[in-house]
Structure 1
Amino acid sequence: MSKDDAPELLLVFLPLSEPKEVIDSIRQQFPTIEVAFVEIPPGTVEITDDVIPSDLLQRATIMTTAFGVIPHPDQTPQLKYLHSFSAGVDHLINHPIFRDTNIRMSTSSGIHGPPIAEWVVMNWLVYSRMYTKILEAKNQQRWLTFKEVRQWEVDDHVGQTVGILGYGSIGRQVARAASGLGMRVLVYTAQPRLTPESKRDTGFIIPGTGDPDGLIPEAWYSGRDKASLHNFLAQGLDHLVVSLPLNTGTTKLIGKEELDVLSAHCNSTSRKPFLTNISRGKVIDQDALLSALQSGALGGAALDVTDPEPLPVGHPLWEQPNVHIGSHMSAFGKRYWERSLEILRLNLTRIHEGKELINEYHR
């Protein structure tokens, strides 16, 4: 990787056993890079010598990080490149290695679409097909009657409209899944996407997923002002999926006003909109969300994320019958780590070739 004479050391640490297949593929493709794997204890919040030997930290030139567990720059004097197992870096921006160094960084954006989109659709179907009632009857060993089911207003998604707020890799896979259900897809981004080039996904794409050319949306809305956002929310949405990064511009972006607009313009005459948040809890004013759920302005919500996390015992959201809470687990799956390490593997080649990294984060 380097043009120096110093040997390269890739240090991978995770709170689980080694994903051997992909680690071995990196070793085989880059025989001049020493690869060290360390299984750290679950719940680790600080890198100390008893977690990772200081010798490895001192020699590491390439490193991965997960769940915000990251060493201090003084511990890693040779570090040149840091790869994050997360899609974003909002949890790292105040860390000295982010703030006080020029170490190159890449993220795992692009790998989260398939599992999160499945989580989104799962929650839609649990809600629309009244699955909790079906499960309750099954646990009671009770065969449901037609009269009971008829009263539930069970529905499918054909012809329903979903608005996707944020159209990165996750939003694009949600759009792909929604399109497969026969839904209309509308999207909203901060910047207008008026050309074919601007609509393309330029990040990491798992083959056969997402919307690489941005062709799925029936309409594409944009803006950074309240009026533009309200115009999007007034398009008769049956579902709103929030898939935005957290920053100063998106904190509490969805509040009482926005939820009122969404509710007032819902397509359905019998059911209010269903909101799904797969971004960060702070993107939504949680008090306003709770009020909308309690008043019936929203039909229901699927919240993979909350504010704070974990959601405290006794919080009113736990008691809402029309709310599904996912404990920030929607992206997890057994192929998560190998997909993230595939980005790292590709980037090692790109560094050798003098190219920009896939998912490179520019400070």
Structure 2
Amino acid sequence: MSIFLLSFDDKRLTQAQVAEIKEHVPSGLDFVHTDDKNAIKEMASEIEVIAGEVRPKGLLDMPNLKWAQQWGAGANWLMRYPELVKRPFTLTNVAGIHAIPISEHILGMLLHFGRNFANAVAAQKEHTWANIKRPTDSYEHIPFAFSTKNLFELADKTMLVIGVGAIGERTAKLAKAFDMHVIGIRHNPDKASPYVDQMVSSAQLLDVLPLADFVVLTAPLTKATRHMIGEQAFAAMKASAFLSNIGRGELVDETYLLPALQNETIAGAALDVFEQEPLPQDSPFWALDNLFITSHYSGANPRYNERALTILLDNMARYGQQQPLRNVVDKEL
């Protein structure tokens, strides 16, 4: 008998959620719930379906695997395992479930800079009232005093969304709610979005970068997108522009990002991801006042498992009925 493996420990899902998965296992498959690597290795040849924590090295031991449902969206790990790209199994992900938390995270990052929240938080810790400087005032002796030049509004600004998938489109929707002009970049620019004023292809990146006040990276990491924001991109951006990256750290070439921030080639950046994670304690990025760092949690939210489970159950029904699966990953990209 072939196996449907739910590869999670006992704490990841509730008992009710595990029971619901077990109840919907396609006929002809035995349900096994374990995250024990040794146990999985012993049954590897019998595993037809795996859902949950999909470990690349473990997949190599599964010669009869037909479908793997991972619990995350990114599949850039395939770039390190070309042998799995050639395997005939179908890989699906939970793309789309991050759209709400990540889009809100992005707008929060921009508001952090626009409303000078870093200064307000620092002043609060010191029990200090942060005064606003007026042209005729002198506040040099008062800590945390700042000018309205340190503030900006989102309204009437231009946002460039690079990667208009589920996350990018909802980010564009929120941007329009703030009365921003939105330019989008997607693989197929002929596919319009009601929240994007102008859709272009990645080949036009350097043409539209000079127009953007906010450059937002929501693209997946592929061979084509790796280091897409590098020396030429930073040179094309406005000195007043801000970069936000919630995709993958390797989308940005940090060799050029660091001096762009240090020399104020761009105004600032808000990063949830880096090329090396965790970011080393001695990284020079920590000390930059024009950089806002969050530790790769933009997609985290209390409804994550609930939303991922909806996709899994839908795909389980499709698999049992031999219908096309949802969220199939193109392993060749």
Q: TM-score range by the shorter chain?
A: 0.7 to 0.9
Tell me the TM-score normalised to structure 1 length. Answer: 0.79
Residues 154, 185 of structure 1: alpha-carbon distance in 2 compared, 3 angstrom cutoff: same
Structure-1 residue corresponding to 2:173: 176
Given that 1:85 and 1:340 are in contact with CA atoms closer than 8 Å, whether structure 2 keeps it comes out as yes
Tell me the TM-score normalised to structure 2 length. Answer: 0.86
Structure-1 residue corresponding to 2:188: 191
Structure-1 residue corresponding to 2:275: 307
Which of these residues, 257, 281, 284, is aligned with residue 249 of structure 2? 281
Shift of 1:223: 4.1
Which of these residues, 7, 15, 21, is aligned with residue 20 of structure 1? 15
Distance in 2 (CA, whole Å) between partners of 1:320 and 1:338 is 37
Moved more, 322-331 or 23-32: 23-32
Structure-2 residue corresponding to 1:10: 5
Shift of 1:65: 4.3
Q: Give the residue type in structure 2 aligned to 1:254.
A: I
Q: Give the residue type in structure 1 aligned to 2:51.
A: T
Shift of 1:151: 4.2
The answer to whether structure 1 residue 342 and structure 2 residue 310 are counterparts is yes
Structure-2 residue corresponding to 1:62: 49
Shift of 1:26: 2.5
Shift of 1:107: 1.2
Given that 1:17 and 1:39 are in contact with CA atoms closer than 8 Å, whether structure 2 keeps it comes out as no
Distance in 2 (CA, whole Å) between partners of 1:355 and 1:10 is 20
Which of these residues, 34, 51, 58, is aligned with residue 71 of structure 1? 58
Structure-2 residue corresponding to 1:156: 153
CA RMSD across the alignment: 2.5
Distance in 2 (CA, whole Å) between partners of 1:15 and 1:324 is 36
Q: Give the residue type in structure 2 aligned to 1:251.
A: R
Residues 320, 279 of structure 1: alpha-carbon distance in 2 compared, 3 angstrom cutoff: same
Mapping of residues 140-289 of structure 1, within 5 Å: 140-147=126-133, 148-151=145-148, 153-193=150-190, 198-199=191-192, 214-224=193-203, 228-235=204-211, 237-263=212-238, 272-289=240-257
Given that 2:7 and 2:54 are in contact with CA atoms closer than 8 Å, whether structure 1 keeps it comes out as no
Distance in 1 (CA, whole Å) between partners of 2:161 and 2:110 is 14
Q: Give the residue type in structure 1 aligned to 2:195.
A: I
Distance in 2 (CA, whole Å) between partners of 1:157 and 1:290 is 25
Residues 127, 139 of structure 1: alpha-carbon distance in 2 compared, 3 angstrom cutoff: same
Moved more, 27-36 or 306-315: 27-36
Structure-2 residue corresponding to 1:38: 34
The percent of aligned pairs where both chains have the same amino acid is 27
Shift of 1:302: 0.8
Distance in 1 (CA, whole Å) between partners of 2:9 and 2:178 is 37
Distance in 1 (CA, whole Å) between partners of 2:324 and 2:185 is 28
Shift of 1:103: 1.3
Shift of 1:242: 1.2
Shift of 1:54: 4.5
Q: Give the residue type in structure 2 aligned to 1:126.
A: H
Distance in 2 (CA, whole Å) between partners of 1:15 and 1:98 is 28
Q: Give the residue type in structure 1 aligned to 2:215.
A: L
Given that 1:19 and 1:337 are in contact with CA atoms closer than 8 Å, whether structure 2 keeps it comes out as no
Gaps of 5+ in 2: 134-144
Structure-2 residue corresponding to 1:103: 89
Shift of 1:301: 0.3
Shift of 1:362: 3.8
Residues 350, 295 of structure 1: alpha-carbon distance in 2 compared, 3 angstrom cutoff: same
Q: Give the residue type in structure 1 aligned to 2:22.
A: R
Distance in 1 (CA, whole Å) between partners of 2:48 and 2:157 is 50
Shift of 1:60: 3.1
Q: Give the residue type in structure 1 aligned to 2:300.
A: F
Gaps of 5+ in 1: 1-5, 41-47, 200-213, 265-271
